[in-house]
């Protein structure tokens, strides 16, 4: 490899890993018929004049596989938290018990499972696109170095390294998607 050109593969890997982290976050928000505290992460509550995540107005627990509870710290916010959950589009009907909001997670029907599988596929495709964009940036850097006098052997070595990194990340996305789709389709 050329002495004067050093591709920052750590930066490329970090950016590709960022796409994977984003994918896992999006997958966590998909309801699979199993209770998960992370499914409430996108839900925001109008608390004290600003939009606040649910986990900042109460304690979120998962006491059983099909139940999420939220122990709201400020009694005046219970109604707002309940309203935010109803309007979130999660398809969950909150039940009040004092300052505790219980969220029973209903079984998913076959049609809803298929829809969620498609959504998971769209999330995975977005991650693949992000990874390919990082790959393109790396390849552009290599082409620029080639124009600045890098040898063809060095160019091929760097391109191979970037492609190997890309292939490994795409494979990780595919594996994560397959796992999530299996989880969604479980009864």
Q: How much is the mean pLDDT over the chain?
A: 87
The whole domain housing 149 covers 9-28+109-185
Same domain, 68 and 130: no
Q: For residue 3, tell me if it sits in a domain.
A: no
Q: For residue 171, tell me if it sits in a domain.
A: yes
d(CA 186, CA 90): 19
What is the rounded end-to-end Cα distance, in angstroms, of the chain? 53
- Res 62 pLDDT > 60: yes
- Count of domains observed in the chain: 2
Per-residue pLDDT band at 33 (split at 50, 70, 90): low
Element (H, E) at 47: strand 44-47
Same domain, 84 and 149: no
- 3-state DSSP helix/strand/coil % of the chain, to nearest 5: 60, 15, 25
Listed in sequence order, the residues at least 6 apart from 93 whose beta carbon sits closer than 8 Å to its beta carbon are 86, 103, 104
- Res 116 pLDDT > 90: no
- Res 134 pLDDT > 90: yes
Query: Which segment, 25-34, 50-59, 85-94, is predicted with the most confidence on average?
Result: 50-59
- Res 85 pLDDT > 60: yes
Q: Which one has a higher pLDDT value, 5 or 162?
A: 162
Same domain, 93 and 117: no
Same domain, 24 and 113: yes
Q: For residue 158, tell me if it sits in a domain.
A: yes
Range with the lowest mean pLDDT among 67-71, 112-116, 162-166?
112-116
The first and second tokens of residue 33, run together, are 């018929």
- The CATH number of the domain where 126 resides is what? 1.10.132.20
- Res 163 pLDDT > 90: yes
Percent of the chain surpassing pLDDT 90: 39
- The CATH number of the domain where 81 resides is what? 3.30.1360.40
Q: For residue 4, tell me if it sits in a domain.
A: no
Q: For residue 2, tell me if it sits in a domain.
A: no
Among the candidates 73, 104, 135, a domain finishes at: 104
- Res 2 pLDDT > 90: no
Same domain, 141 and 181: yes
């Amino acid at each position: 490899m050329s002495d004067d050109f050093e591709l920052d593969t750590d930066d490329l890997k970090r950016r590709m890993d960022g796409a994977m982290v984003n994918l896992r976050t999006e997958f966590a928000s998909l309801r699979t018929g199993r209770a998960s505290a992370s499914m409430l992460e996108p839900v925001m509550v109008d608390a004290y004049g600003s939009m606040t995540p649910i986990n900042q107005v109460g304690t979120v627990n998962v006491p059983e596989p099909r139940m999420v509870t939220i122990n709201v710290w400020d009694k005046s916010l219970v109604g707002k938290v309940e309203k935010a959950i109803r309007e979130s589009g999660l398809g969950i009907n909150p039940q009040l018990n004092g300052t505790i909001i219980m969220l029973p997670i209903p079984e998913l029907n076959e049609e809803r499972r298929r829809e969620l599988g498609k959504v998971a596929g769209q999330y995975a495709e977005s991650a693949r696109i992000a990874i390919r964009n990082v790959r393109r940036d790396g390849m552009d850097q290599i082409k620029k170095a080639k124009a600045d006098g890098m040898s063809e052997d060095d160019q091929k070595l760097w391109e191979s390294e970037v492609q190997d990194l890309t292939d490994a990340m795409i494979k990780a996305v595919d594996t994560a998607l397959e796992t999530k789709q299996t989880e969604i389709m479980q009864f």
